[in-house]
Amino acid sequence: MTKIICISDTHGRHRKMNIPEGDILIHAGDLSPKGRVKEIKDFNNWLKRLPHPHKIVIAGNHDFLFEEQPEEAQALLTHATYLEDSGTEIEGIKIWGSPITPWFFDWAFNRKRGEDIKQSWEKIPEDTDILITHGPPWGILDRTIHGQQVGCEELLTAVKRIKPRLHIFGHIHEEHGIVHDAHTQYINASMVDVHYQATQEAIVIEW
């Protein structure tokens, strides 16, 4: 039995959070408030002290340095495997991660809806077991406090085609939780609430 710990959207408040022990820790982006060097260093030092044998991290729309200075940012993250439209395999589990989200003002890793963002999702391998994206697919744990659905339509199409066993994301803090269909368990693992307070719990999945 492999225990997977799912978190996202810690926004620099990671030291205020209780992270359960497990085999694989997955962070689905927005590890920092603004993606500054000192914020990434602090997050990396925190990761070092966590006991999980495997730690996987993607960036989010707040993590600017990973888009603007990718080599520098990734060099700072020494205690996790960083994924950016790329994959890894752990104990036979194939994992793919992407920080891309639909355009929203002028944040990091934004892409225009439609053909532009579709190009990112076409990179996802068909045999992916766990998909990590920063943002949700359309209509799944993607409703804002104002009632707007802001997930990605093209991502939903890709997920329905690939049928990963887990799809882990965050981004929409107020939709923390789990839903599933016949093939996929969808997890919004946001750790902060809509007010950026560390009030939400990590989600634990037994594989």
Is the distance from CB of 203 to CB of 3 less than 8 angstroms? no
pTM over 0.95? The answer is yes
| Integer Cα distance of 176 and 110 in angstroms | 22
| Cα 147 from chain centroid (whole Å) | 22
| Integer Cα distance of 203 and 8 in angstroms | 10
Mean pLDDT, residues 173-196 taken together: 98
Q: Tell me what pLDDT residue 105 has.
A: 80
Residue 104 pLDDT grade (very low, low, confident, very high; cuts 50, 70, 90): confident
Contact residues for 56 (Cβ-Cβ < 8 A; gap 6+): 24, 25, 26, 27, 80, 81, 82, 83, 88, 95, 97, 132
Helix, strand, coil share of the chain (percent; to 5): 25, 25, 50
With 90 as the cut, is the pLDDT of residue 136 above it? yes
pLDDT per position as a tens digit, 73-86:
999 999 999 999 99
Is the distance from CB of 197 to CB of 161 less than 8 angstroms? no
With 90 as the cut, is the pLDDT of residue 28 above it? yes
Specify the pairing of strand 3-7 against strand 93-98.
unpaired
The CATH number given to whatever domain includes residue 10 is 3.60.21.10
Q: Tell me what pLDDT residue 48 has.
A: 98
Instruction: Return the structure tokens found at 151.
Output: 């997930």
Edge to edge, what strands does the sheet with 54-57 contain?
81-82, 54-57, 24-27, 3-7, 203-206
Can you give the residue range of the structural domain that contains 133? 3-206
With 90 as the cut, is the pLDDT of residue 49 above it? yes
Residue 106 pLDDT grade (very low, low, confident, very high; cuts 50, 70, 90): confident
| Integer Cα distance of 90 and 193 in angstroms | 30
Mean pLDDT, residues 150-163 taken together: 98
Q: Tell me what pLDDT residue 12 has.
A: 98
Q: How many domains does the chain have?
A: 1
Mean pLDDT, residues 91-114 taken together: 95
Q: Tell me what pLDDT residue 67 has.
A: 98
Mean pLDDT, residues 151-172 taken together: 98
Specify the pairing of strand 185-188 against strand 177-180.
antiparallel
Give the distance between the most distant pair of CA atoms in the chain.
43
With 90 as the cut, is the pLDDT of residue 128 above it? yes
Number of neighbours of residue 188 by Cβ within 10 angstroms: 28
Residue 40 pLDDT grade (very low, low, confident, very high; cuts 50, 70, 90): very high
